[in-house]
Structure 1
Amino acid sequence: MPADQPAWILDARRAVGDRIRVRRLHQNMTQESLAHTSGLDRSTIQRMEAGHEMKLSHLLLVAHALRVHVTDLLHG
């Protein structure tokens, strides 16, 4: 994806990252424990929460680890 994406895409990615962080903290999980539970690297969780581009498969793994439906992370 090009770096010059529309602002609404960047805003949406940041919102998804924020929802992941809020859900993780609500469950008293660290980035490390979420990474372990989801089978991802902590750096991947960190990038997702920061609003960087994320793979759908990673988002699905994180949603499963947080015991929420992926749409809860996408739409809040």
Structure 2
Amino acid sequence: MRDLPDDEAQWSADRLRAIGDRVRAERLRQNLTQDQLWQAARIDRRTVQNIESGREMKVGTLLRIAWVLEISPADLWD
């Protein structure tokens, strides 16, 4: 087991931003708009914007997005 890094806030922000970047990249790869994604995932438009910009996100929401994009949720973390 390991402890969290000393710069936990930055560490966390970097990881959230990386997940958001992966969501955006996959959405664009599939030639989808944010509107198409939020409607298909049945989530709020602002939620997609927040995720793609690396703000706090819920695991359940990421599962919905992964389902809609037909990717493994693990692909968002890797």
TM-score (norm 2): 0.88
TM-score (norm 1): 0.90
Gaps (5+ residues) in structure 1? none
Q: What is the percent sequence identity of the aligned residues? A: 42
* Match in the other structure for 1:39: 42
- 2:56 corresponds, among 53, 56, 59, to 53
Q: CA offsets per residue over residues 12-66 of structure 1, 9 Å max, x none? A: 0000000000000000000000001111111100000000000110000000010
1:10 matches 2:13: yes
Q: Which residue identity does 1:39 align to in structure 2?
A: R
CA distance in 1, matches of 2:44, 2:33: 12
CA distance in 2, matches of 1:40, 1:49: 14
Task: Return the index of the structure with the highest Cα Rg.
Answer: 2
Across the aligned residues of Structure 1 and Structure 2, the Cα RMSD in angstroms comes to 1.3
Gaps (5+ residues) in structure 2? 1-7
